[in-house]
Structure 1
Amino acid sequence: MVTDDIQAALRAMHIMAAGDLTELDQVIHPDAVNREAKAEPPDCRIQGPDGFAASARWLRSAFAELAFDVHEAVASGDLVVVHCTMSGRQVGPFVTYDAHGRVAQAFPPTGERMAVTQTHWHRMREGKIVEHWANRDDLSQGLQLRWVPPTPLYLWRMSRAKRHATRLQYAHPVR
């Protein structure tokens, strides 16, 4: 049985993948926290729809054809759990950040496709997502995108991409 909470969680994932973020406020609570944003750019760490929109823009800047193929969605109490496969093609650098919001790593685009399983957990309030966290298969993602094992050339490209991302971050600091 698909509940309203399940529909809201699935709609949020579809909106974030599709990129038309104008409807996020209909499914993301103003107090919503994305627990996965700790490795994302600082503007992704704010509460509410704006933080989730920033996360979507961050993912979509690295991955074209971003999609979530849902295998199972279940609800229990105020929790909705979605088991899915995230897929896309890496067309831009995938930049991760440390706890202080500084560039931690940058994986330059490989043009490769990936399809990795994930489980997303959503705590719901008033029919909207108020908390999100996930379990992902990051090793499979790295292998499919040819980030690992890194070749000497790719390590050099990573170093250049990190320098570039760091320069951009300091040229356009988040307020």
Structure 2
Amino acid sequence: MFDALSACDEAALAEVIHPDATNREAVREPLACRGRGPAAFVATARWLATAHSGLRWEVREVVQEGDLVVAHTTMSGRQTGPFHVHTADGAIETVFPATGRAFAAPQTHWLRLVDGMVVEHWANRDDMGMAKQLGWVPPGPVYLAKMVLATRRARAAA
């Protein structure tokens, strides 16, 4: 699944993502990511790829018990595009302009399987650690002004 997400590979995701799968982490993502099945996971992969080059997950450990699989990973990449955070109704809430910086953040992904396919996903992520590495937090005055302008432009374009 992680390799398919990194590559935005629709065919590979269709092989591992159940047609009724849901991603609980998609609540701050574009509306297309909040649906069900492989198409929603492809939308998430594309959303991440618009902001991050070389995005990949290094799987460190995997544990399975019954229909539950837990993968401890490190997500890494470089922010080369704007990262859009969305509201509950799908509007753009905040835009973090590209910094060109690399990041590597630990994550734990929880996957419930049905018939060997992912039917449910949720995660624990070090978003604050990633934000610090990317220079989002604490925002300096120049970066804060760039955020405000990028957010206004993205809202106007939407």
TM-score by length of 1: 0.88
**Aligned match of 2:48:** 59
Deviation, structure 1 residue 18: 1.9
**Alignment-derived partner of residue 5 in structure 1:** none
3-state SS, counterpart of residue 142 of structure 2: helix
Match of 2:4 among 15, 22, 30: 15
Which residue in 1 is equivalent to 2:23? 34
Structure 1 residue 160 displacement after superposition: 1.2
RMSD: 0.8
Q: Which amino acid counterpart does residue 15 of structure 1 have in structure 2?
A: A
Write the deviation string for residues 84-131 of structure 1: whole angstroms up to 9, x where unpaired. Answer: 100000000010111111111110000000000000000000110000
Cross-structure match for 1:100: 89
Amino acid at match of 2:87: D
Matching residue of 2:154 = 165
> Per the alignment, in what secondary structure is the counterpart of residue 106 of structure 2?
strand
Amino acid in structure 2 at the alignment position of 1:74:
V
Paired with 2:10 and 2:55, the residues of 1 have a C-alpha distance of: 14
Letter in 1 for 2:52: F
Kindly report which structure 2 residues correspond to 1:1-175, keeping only aligned pairs within 5 A, or say none. 12-169=1-158
TM-score, normalised with respect to structure 2: 0.97
In the alignment, structure 1 segments of 5+ residues that lack a partner are: 1-11, 170-175
In the alignment, the residues of structure 2 paired with residue 161 and residue 30 of structure 1 have an alpha-carbon distance, to the nearest angstrom, of 35
SS of 1:37's equivalent in the other structure is helix
**Cα displacement (A) at 1:168:** 2.7
C-alpha displacement of 1:34:
0.3
Aligned-pair distance for 1:135? Answer: 0.3
